[in-house]
Amino acid sequence: MTGKRIAALLLALTMTALASACSRTEPEVNAPISAPADPVPVEEVPDISGDAEKPVETAAETELVPEPAPEDGEAFVSPYPKGQRAKTVVRIPEPSSFSEKLTVASLQGLAAKLTDEQILIRTGAADLYTPLMESEWGAEITNRVGGKPATFANLLSGYRDRLPGGYILCSSTPGDPSVSAAVSVAGVTDCVIATEENRAAVEKAGYTLFLDLTGKGDDWLRASEYWEKLSRTAAFEQPDSMAPKLIDYAVMAGAYFNFYDGKNAAAHKKMYDFLDDGAVIFGYNNTLGEFDTVKSFSEMNLQMVPADHAYNLSTLSGFPLPSLTQGIDTVKEEAPESVHTLCIVMSDGDNLQWVLNNFATGSEWYGSKRRGDFPMAWGVSPAALDVAAPMLSYLYGSRTERDEFIMQLSGLGYTFPSRWKKEVRAGMAEKLAVSMKRAGLRYAEILDDNGFREDSLGDFAAQDGIDGLFYIEYSGYASLNGKILWLDGVPAVSARYMIWADHPGGGLGYIARKLGRASRDPASEDAYSFLIVHAWSGMKNGELVPHGNTMDAVAELISQLDPGVELVTPSVFMDRLIKNCGGRE
């Protein structure tokens, strides 16, 4: 490693240590979440402390690294908001009414911020990762608070003595502006949120009125004394009608929470121009649309983590995991003879909402019985290690030797890097490289809008720890037909093919035929193909259609491939390409 490289790495570590703690989503961004088995009314919580669940065994090669001692008085500081480490996790079903969801979400966020006894809503993939909280982190899993069943009333009273604030009153109507304002203020005043529907129950538990925000909204918030207290490194863009999703994390982070329900990109920019360069916005904007939302954020040097259906991030963020490895051996092989090398990557791993819900439980994706039958690359958000370590630990622990994770997508969140200011983008790339190394990720996937350029991608390729780039174009994914840029010996490989229903170039037979006629000269760049799979396309009744089984579509393509096409993992693909066609200088 050169002195320049060492200095850059030290600078990245120092910048991250001093940082304030505070996807790309495809057309079907709001993938349905898995409902918890046998939903239970909030007042009838079962005793799960003695559940027959067994801790999930992690693969032997996956290493959970213990919390390191700070060096020189400083430890790594995550760029994402993080809660307290939980010693006890109170697991509950999701409340039924909007008012109770809102109140419980605010209580959950404050518990994660201020206590080591925290709340987990049993939904999505929670049953997969909860055992790891116990086996790997030593947390006690219970359904009781203060020795009593964790009903709505007992949750309120059980945390009363540990929370310094009172309550904030807002409307009980989902989408009312006072709800967004209440969420924003709750985190900086340490107050729970109540509505007229449950105000009496909140007061009975001992909380007193701190602020009545009924009839108030965003204009009031920005003119209030609380505005300057909100985080400048994180914000939330989410329909407040979707409580409790994301509200807990916004309260814990003391961050701005709102949803711009319009189609004016200029007004959208104005809403978030108070944030620092490089800040992360959690959520999604269905109304403005994916492209305009990401473009708006990118032009302000901001990035978005799609998470609008994410539960429990406040609690999950409090499980520390400084680093995690996939346990992938270094590739050592002889140069292949007469073979076309193919790497297949699943899209949308940057969606925390999806990863925490049915990504690992649905048969269409990571939960497929076909997984492990063939090499497959899966994406994961760089936020996952800090925001949802138990889930990431489960995914790494359950991977097979034919599975490999890469970083998705474009930065510390979904963004178009080519639209960033040069100096700010370089700093973001340094922080991304540190986050990737901590998560055991060697390769980054970049999605951009006409951003396949050396001036933009070079900032990522220059980082130690980023050994290669997979590039997809916003319009058409594979519109660059496999073009490769060499950046100081680091390859940036554009997608040559894609599996995407109802999209030109997405047919399985067409792809198989093209691959069968492709170059097999390992010294030629034409002998290497990166194929991206649209996560919301798949097989149904023998046809490739929207919302079919995605892994079945991959398996069907593989069944049609010529024997001269070799499917490999990202490590083999990149190492083989670099060895035979280029190399880091």
Cβ–Cβ < 8 Å for 189, 165 = yes
Residue pLDDT tens, the chain, 585 long: 443 333 443 334 333 333 333 333 443 333 333 333 333 333 333 333 333 333 333 333 344 443 443 333 345 567 899 999 999 999 999 999 999 999 999 999 999 999 999 999 999 999 999 999 999 999 999 999 999 999 999 999 999 999 999 999 999 999 899 999 999 999 999 999 999 999 999 999 999 999 999 999 999 999 999 999 999 999 999 988 999 999 999 999 999 999 866 668 888 999 999 999 999 999 999 888 899 999 999 999 999 999 999 999 999 999 999 999 998 876 667 767 899 999 999 999 999 999 999 999 999 999 999 999 999 999 999 999 999 999 999 999 999 999 999 999 999 999 999 999 999 999 999 999 999 999 999 999 999 999 999 999 999 999 999 999 999 999 889 999 999 999 999 999 999 999 999 887 778 999 999 999 999 999 999 999 999 999 999 999 999 999 999 999 999 999 999 999 999 999 999 999 999 998 544
**Whether residue 551 is found in the same domain as residue 413:** yes
Which residues touch 451 (CB under 8 Å, ≥6 apart)? Answer: 416, 417, 418, 419, 457
Please check whether residue 24 is in contact with residue 409, taking contact to mean a CB–CB distance below 8 angstroms: yes
Rounded Cα distance between 65 and 143, Å, is: 29
- Give the Cα separation of 288 and 190 in Å (integer): 32
| Domain identity same for 493 and 541 | yes
Q: Are residues 121 and 152 in the same domain?
A: yes
**366 with 396: CB under 8 angstroms?**
no
Residue 14 within a domain: no
> 240: which DSSP letter?
G
The answer to whether residues 473 and 480 touch, using CB atoms and an 8 Å cutoff, is: yes
Rg, Å, the chain Cα set: 24
From the list 100, 558, 123, the residue with the least C-alpha distance to 353 is 123
* In a shared domain, residues 306 and 210: yes
Residue 543, C-beta contacts closer than 8 angstroms, at least 6 positions apart: none
- Let me know if residue 25 belongs to a domain: no
Residue 12 lies in a domain: no
Burial environment of residue 411 by CB neighbours within 10 A (0 to 12, 13 to 18, 19 or more): buried
Q: Within this chain, do residues 158 and 247 fall inside the same structural domain, yes or no?
A: yes
Say if residue 345 is in the same domain as residue 268: no
Note whether 296 and 345 are same-domain residues: no
- Tell me if 86 sits within 8 A of 319, measured CB to CB: yes
Burial class (CB in 10 A: 0-12, 13-18, 19+), 52: exposed
Q: Do residues 202 and 103 make contact, with C-beta atoms less than 8 angstroms apart?
A: yes
pTM reported for the whole predicted model: 0.87
Is 346 part of any domain? yes
Q: Is residue 442 part of a domain?
A: yes
Task: Give me the domain span that covers residue 452.
Answer: 337-581
CATH number reported for the structural domain that contains residue 467 in this entry: 3.20.20.490
